[in-house]
Chains A and B, each alone.
Chain A
């Protein structure tokens, strides 16, 4: 089955700096790669996703890149703000036969210090 590894487990950045979280996956048939943000005491919430036919996707201060050959994908947050402090999870799945059955990474605790 799919295995997703996520690094780093914790990330401390100064406000205004960039943050990068990296994930690798094992199943070459995976074609959907979402990123979720979880604030304290809440359920995870999708912030951005990318499908395997796209190499990069941006949404304001966040972007995701995908390298299918190397089987890794990354989340980039620019101009970090205190409200970006949260736990971030990457995930992978095959939408063809595993709709909604996501394999998650272990998570990255991001702390943005003013």
Chain B
């Protein structure tokens, strides 16, 4: 157990509303990631962070922003949700200098109506 908690686990919202997903980790890992999972696409990287206030874009970052003001929290924000952002979102951490293994949270299922 890598001590990753995602919240909320399920959310239904309407097009145009802002949404924030939270990833919380308890073990002070430096590297954190947000992936989205969609049928036929596997998992795709949205944004990642290599430390406090150190974030960068992944493959599918359009429409998303992130913030990391504390080591333990990595927030993913959809400023104005669209139906194409309906997905399951996974937060992950990696143990730097140990292996390339990612430890994933349990996921947050977001439905945008």
> Which residues of A line the B interface, CB within 8 A?
1, 4, 6, 32, 34, 36, 41-46, 49, 89, 91, 93, 95, 99-107
Contacts and interface: CB of A to CB of B under 8 A. Distances in A.
B31 A100 contact: yes
11 contacts: A6-B42, A43-B107, A44-B90, A49-B101, A89-B42, A100-B31, A100-B94, A101-B45, A102-B102, A105-B42, A107-B42
B45 A46 contact: no
Interface of B: 31, 33, 40-45, 48, 58-59, 90, 92, 94, 96, 99-102, 104-107
Nearest to A94: B100
A99 B106 contact: no
Q: Please provide the 6 A-B residue pairs with the shortest distance between their CB atoms, ordered closest to farther.
A: A43-B104, A104-B42, A100-B94, A104-B43, A106-B42, A32-B100
B101 A44 contact: no
A78 B100 CA distance: 25
B4 to A, nearest CB: 8
Best-surrounded residue of B58, B96, B102, B106 (most CB of chain A within 10 A):
B102
A93 B104 contact: no
Contacts of B31: 99-100
Contacts of B42: 4, 6, 89, 91, 104-107
Chain A CB count within 10 A is highest, among B40, B42, B96, B104, for B42
